[in-house]
Structure 1
Amino acid sequence: MKRKLTEEMEHDFFFVHESIVYGVLRKCGIRFNHPDYDDYVQIGLLKLVEAYETFPEDLCQEAYFYQFTGYAFQKIRWGIIDEMRKAIKNAERETLIGEALDRSVPEEGVESDSDWLVWELMPTMLKYLTPNEQQYLRDAAIDQLSITDIAKKHNVSRKTVYEWRKKTAIKLAHFKAVLKS
């Protein structure tokens, strides 16, 4: 059953059920001093409305009112946990990227002869790639998107993106050999 939360009911609905969101946040260990607290509150409120719209029973009956509370709590909890997982995954990705960048920065006083060569060869390298492979390289190297995010961005399957990656690696292997010599 799909119902809509009307503007007339909105104020009363949130007055009665908004505390569920704060209960979920407390249960998940997200306190008011958390840097993303307001974002999590908004996510919780959106999930609360989603729970209202998808709850299968009639909320006008008192027996289903309490069932809705449990249903909404669980739906909000799952949504918050999903967002927490995404935040952890992004933080790990940023840490890995930071570590990789730290390793790639040469020590002071040591010039990296291959850096200028890479930038000189970049336009030539891109000419060997198809437009999709060029876009994959930009998305993966510059925008730091995951395979899944690239697939969603271009409305293709993950398998297709893996193929782009494989073909890009094969075509650029020649330049890697030039850089090493």
Structure 2
Amino acid sequence: MKTQEKIRILTEEMAADFFFVHDAIVYGALKKCQIPYNHPDYEDYVQIGRMKLVEAYECFPKDLTEEEAFYQFTGYAFQKVKWGVLDEIRVRVRRAEQEVFMPEDFEPLVVDERSLVDAEIVMQDMYQSMLACLTEGEQTYLNDAVILQLSVKDIAKKRGVSRKTVYAWRQRVAEKLAEYKSVLKN
């Protein structure tokens, strides 16, 4: 979005008079955007509208002392305020769509610390017993892939072998672990 160059600046001394004359533009734009007075975010939208009104004043290209330019400014400012409010509505809708709400019947999962430690010990024992049925190259592959989370390319580079070799390690590891798993089931 390109920003417009400021032509004038709304000073604090002028602000009260400016808003007295032009605040109706903000309320009209909110009405056009169908935001009622009782909307929970109404005051936020009013402030956004006022900021857009000031931007419109500061960027309006014509001399506001001329009567014709004054009326053109009103239409220009109304459009700028309306678009600014609509942009904010879109942002809030998009943000609300991304939020995930907890179901009313949600019960937090209580985790027993001992069961986590026990499960970790079992996993380590199982991992060590799986490593015992692999060759040194296959063990290296499994450690690099599972523990270090390296890609095939990174493993090949780290170990100074071709990617084809790493793929062969992966295939043999998968076959041996499938056999290992079937032995455990029986």
CA distance in 1, matches of 2:15, 2:83: 23
**Structure 2 length-normalised TM:** 0.54
CA distance in 1, matches of 2:29, 2:72: 16
Q: Contact 1:106–1:112 at 8 Å: present in 2 too?
A: no
Q: Which runs of 5+ in 1 are unaligned?
A: 121-169, 174-180
One-letter code aligned to 2:50: L
CA distance in 2, matches of 1:172, 1:48: 54
Alignment RMSD (CA, Å): 3.3
1:39 alignment partner in structure 2: 44
Larger radius of gyration: 2
Which consecutive aligned stretches of 4+ in structure 1 deviate over 3 angstroms post-superposition? 105-108, 110-113, 170-173
Of the three residues 53, 74, 77, the one matched with 1:72 is 77
Aligned residues: 115
Q: Contact 1:43–1:79 at 8 Å: present in 2 too?
A: yes
The reply on whether 1:9 has 2:14 as its aligned counterpart is yes
Q: Which structure has greater helix proportion?
A: 1
**Structure 1 length-normalised TM:** 0.55
CA distance in 1, matches of 2:33, 2:54: 20
The reply on whether 1:58 has 2:75 as its aligned counterpart is no
Aligned-pair distance for 1:58? 0.4
Decide whether aligned partners of structure 1 residues 107 and 60 sit closer, same or farther in structure 2, where only a CA change above 3 A counts.
Answer: closer
Aligned-pair distance for 1:171? 3.6
Give the match's secondary structure for 1:35.
coil
